[in-house]
């Protein structure tokens, strides 16, 4: 852990001042006990330490980075202080999560329970609200026929629709008949739902169907909408402006971090749960792309709903297509090549011209009923212009620019499904955005089960814009750096007794191939010893599929592989049958919670370093090296450490769990950086002897 300044005195002083200002407010420990009792739980020392630390951080205006291991009960560890502070001081608290599962848990169970349990001991009951991006709600005006029928669109607001592809109902194709049935069901549901929130619709619908009944923030008519009084997103925002505690998600934080005003209600405290994902979510929200289909879509909307000609934009689109089609699928460290920059600039200029034409003439009275088709055309053209303007700007070093081409693997895969080459732009770093737009004039609390990488909080704190931890008694340094504290409240689990970390030291270092015969032999021996009961975490889909196919031939246990069905279905089948194995990639490394005998072996095929062709990670490593740092350790090793910590954390989910984490990459014990990675993982007992690991697995399997 990093050395830290003594903040106990300042924290206590802040506590006394706040208590004096707010009257006789009970101590946070007393309120926590009430909430835990209401939940039917027991006292947890780590949870109490966390609650006290969160309270001190808020009252002392000091940012807190707190690692709370699985089983700590961290949700109550920050929700009780949040409710206490908000009610006692009338200062709003915003709580953000990365996953839908945790968001549902917080807003439907944990937060209402806390608010109710402590209500009698606070000056008044706490009010709570849920806030999501515009696209997550039904648009009553669109359902009533107020918008023209949608064409396939290639532009979505960064962040607002970023989570759509991750939505449980978004997977798989949708036939026209099924699409029609889903839209009919949505229209019926619109007359019943009190929230209009997509996540309240069970079972869900496809993205195509949802697009028929929702709009983005830019497409919304705002105060000119004739059905404003019935607007679901406006209701959600009005409730958030009045609530004491508002629950939102990292995608919304990403939009706010880009400087968009009014995305979040005014607040004094920001609590970020699943904080290890924040930087990536902000990066995703700030990443844009440009392609011929996107330009053509914007032009088509302008002609159809704006009645304008797009000859210049059509010509710019054709020229852009020729240029981008000839570019290599790679990153451009010195900015776009001259020909590409000129082509993008032409798109920018033509889009600006069309956008100007789409605007109503000055002095002309606006019609009583707004033209929603025109609004859609304007919003899409504005997005096109802003993307092209950003890419065409002189290189400042603030953005990472690259080209992707379909069918060439890596970052060039055709995930958009239209076969088009694309230019992309992503921020080189987001720490400044987080520090400026999310933390300025407010207190931030960042928490997760995995934040201390290699035994230090510095790496993750740097991504939050906090910088290295100050050293007690040290002078100098960045006097403008925010004050923060790092704290590990531990875990109720006895990791050395509950788990073994086995590293296959005798295997060759993994190469470019998906799986080697040596590695497949190792997997077979371990899975056979475990009697199934295996969660296989692989670095690529190709490796997961290869291992699954090989094990189906070699072993007599059910093998599920990511892609066989929707992920929640696969996880449920894995949890219900202890003999079953589940193999997959990144989606399984985080968030899978299967306690009990179904998961007694976690396989990790290799250290999950970022791909060498990852344009953003490679650019960030280069920037660190240019500043005199170690790009590999600060970017690649930190990325791997975080994923290893998350992946290994799938093994022990309760005090009764036992098992083995097997890493089939000898570099974890042979490379110099190996100790940094293992220090980031749960403190399992370690061995490089396969016989020890398989013997332990057989004993566990025999116990059933």
| Residue 358 three-state SS | helix
Tens digits of per-residue pLDDT, 250-266?
999 999 999 888 899 99
Does the pLDDT of residue 682 top 70, yes or no? yes
pLDDT at 4 over 50: no
Measured over the CA atoms of residue 566, residue 587, residue 278 and residue 616, the dihedral's sign is negative
Lowest mean pLDDT among 135-149, 160-174, 377-391, 461-475: 160-174
Of the CA atoms within 13 Å of residue 539, those in its CB half-sphere come to 22
Find the mean pLDDT for residues 167-195.
78
- Do residues 306 and 374 make contact, with C-beta atoms less than 8 angstroms apart? yes
360 pLDDT higher than 80:
no
Question: Where does the pLDDT of residue 369 fall: very low under 50, low under 70, confident under 90, or very high at 90 and above?
Answer: low
468 Cβ contact list (under 8 Å, min separation 6)? 2, 458, 461, 462
8 A C-beta contact, residue 80 and residue 62: no
Contact 285, 254 (CB under 8 A): yes
Render pLDDT for 479-533 as a digit per residue (tens, 0 to 9).
Answer: 466 889 999 999 999 999 999 999 999 999 998 877 789 999 999 999 999 999 9
Lowest mean pLDDT among 2-16, 240-254, 535-549: 2-16
As a whole-number percent, the residues of the chain with pLDDT over 70 amount to 88
Closest-CA residue to 419 (of 432, 430, 436, 407): 407
User: If we measure between CA atoms, which residue out of 74, 69, 65, 1 comes closest to residue 682?
Assistant: 69
- The confidence score (pLDDT) of residue 1 equals 32
Compute the distance between CA of residue 547 and CA of residue 539 in angstroms, rounded to an integer.
Answer: 12
Alpha-carbon span 22 to 14, nearest angstrom: 12
Collapse the DSSP code of 519 into the 3-class scheme (helix H, G, I; strand E, B; otherwise coil) and give the result: helix
| DSSP track, 202-245 | SS---HHHHHTT---TTT--GGG-TTGGG-HHHHHHHHHHH-SE
Stated length of the chain: 704
Residue burial 449-480, b: 16+ Cβ < 10 Å; e: rest = bbbbbbebbbbbbbbbbbbbbbeeeeeeeeee
**pLDDT classification of 562: cutoffs 50, 70, 90:** very high
DSSP letter for each residue of 297-310: HHHHHHHHHH----
What pLDDT, on the 0 to 100 scale, is given for residue 492? 93
- Helices (DSSP H) in 266-337: which residue ranges? 278-285, 292-306, 311-326
Query: What does each C-alpha distance from 648 to 71, 135, 279, 504 come to in angstroms?
Result: 15, 35, 21, 15
- pLDDT tens per residue across span 76-103: 999 999 999 999 999 999 999 998 888 9
Judge whether residue 224 has pLDDT over 70. Answer: yes
Higher pLDDT pick, 394 / 633: 633
Average pLDDT of the chain is: 88
**Phi, psi for residue 537 in degrees, rounded to 5:** -105, 115
């Amino acid at each position: 852990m990093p050395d830290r300044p003594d903040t106990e005195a300042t924290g206590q002083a802040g506590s006394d001042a706040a208590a004096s200002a707010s009257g006789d407010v009970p101590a946070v420990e007393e309120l926590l006990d009430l909430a835990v009792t209401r939940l039917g739980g027991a006292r947890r020392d780590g949870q109490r330490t966390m609650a006290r630390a969160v309270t001190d951080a808020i009252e002392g205006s000091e940012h807190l980075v707190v690692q709370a291991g699985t089983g700590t009960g961290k949700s109550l560890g920050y929700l009780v202080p949040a409710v206490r502070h908000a009610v006692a001081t009338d200062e709003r608290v915003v709580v953000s999560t990365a996953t839908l599962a945790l968001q549902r848990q917080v807003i439907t169970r944990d937060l209402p329970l806390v608010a109710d349990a402590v209500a009698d001991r606070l000056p008044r009951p706490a009010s709570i609200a849920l806030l999501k991006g515009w696209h997550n709600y039904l648009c009553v005006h669109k359902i009533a026929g107020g918008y023209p029928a949608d064409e396939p669109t290639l532009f979505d607001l960064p962040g607002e629709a970023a989570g759509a592809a991750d939505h449980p109902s978004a997977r798989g194709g949708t036939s026209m008949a099924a699409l029609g049935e889903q839209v009919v069901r949505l229209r019926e549901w619109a007359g019943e739902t009190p929230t209009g929130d997509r996540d309240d619709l069970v079972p869900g619908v496809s993205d195509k169907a949802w697009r028929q009944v929702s709009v983005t923030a830019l497409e919304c008519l705002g105060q000119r909408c004739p059905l404003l009084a019935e607007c679901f997103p406006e209701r959600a925002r009005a409730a958030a402006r009045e609530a004491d505690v508002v629950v939102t998600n990292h995608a919304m934080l990403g939009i706010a971090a880009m400087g968009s005003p009014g995305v979040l209600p005014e607040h004094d405290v920001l609590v970020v749960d699943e904080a290890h994902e924040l930087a990536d979510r902000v990066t995703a929200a700030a990443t844009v792309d440009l392609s011929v289909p996107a330009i053509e879509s914007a032009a088509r909307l302008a002609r159809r709903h704006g009645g304008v000609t797009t000859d210049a934009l059509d010509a710019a689109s054709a020229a852009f297509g020729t240029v981008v089609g000839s570019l290599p699928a790679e990153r451009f460290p010195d900015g776009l090549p001259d020909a590409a920059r000129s082509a993008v600039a032409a798109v920018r200029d033509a889009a600006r011209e069309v956008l100007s034409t789409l605007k109503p003439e000055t002095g002309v009275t606006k019609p009583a009923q707004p033209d929603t088709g025109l609004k859609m055309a304007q919003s899409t053209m504005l997005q096109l212009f802003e993307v092209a303007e950003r890419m065409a700007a002189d290189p400042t070093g603030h953005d990472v620019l690259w080209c992707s081409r379909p069918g060439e693997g890596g970052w060039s895969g055709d995930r958009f499904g239209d076969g088009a080459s694309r230019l992309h732009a992503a921020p080189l770093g987001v720490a400044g955005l987080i520090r400026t737009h999310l933390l300025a004039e407010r207190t931030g609390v960042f928490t997760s089960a995995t934040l201390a990488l290699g035994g230090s909080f510095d790496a993750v704190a740097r991504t939050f814009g906090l910088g290295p931890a100050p050293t007690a008694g040290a002078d100098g340094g960045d006097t403008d750096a925010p004050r923060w504290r790092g704290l590990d409240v531990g875990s109720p689990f006895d990791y050395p007794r509950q788990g073994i970390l086995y590293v296959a030291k005798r295997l060759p270092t993994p190469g470019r191939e998906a799986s080697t015969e040596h590695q497949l032999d190792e997997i077979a021996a371990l899975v056979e010893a475990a009697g199934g009961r295996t969660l296989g975490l692989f670095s690529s889909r190709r490796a997961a599929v290869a291992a699954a196919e090989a094990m189906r031939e070699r072993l007599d246990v059910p093998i599920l592989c990511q892609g066989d069905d929707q992920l929640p279905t696969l996880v449920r089948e894995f949890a219900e049958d202890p003999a079953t194995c589940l193999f997959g990639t990144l989606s399984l490394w985080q968030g899978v919670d299967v306690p009990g005998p179904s998961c007694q072996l976690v396989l990790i095929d290799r250290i999950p370093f970022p791909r060498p062709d990852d344009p953003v990670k490679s650019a960030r490593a280069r920037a660190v090296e240019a500043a005199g740092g170690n790009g590999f350790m600060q970017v690649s090793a930190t990325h791997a450490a975080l994923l290893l910590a998350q992946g290994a954390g799938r093994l022990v989910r309760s005090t009764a769990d036992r098992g083995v984490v097997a890493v089939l990459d000898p570099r974890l014990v042979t490379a110099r950086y190996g100790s940094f990675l293992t220090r980031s993982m749960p403190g399992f007992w370690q061995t490089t002897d396969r016989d020890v690991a398989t013997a332990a697995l057989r004993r566990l399997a025999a116990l059933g």
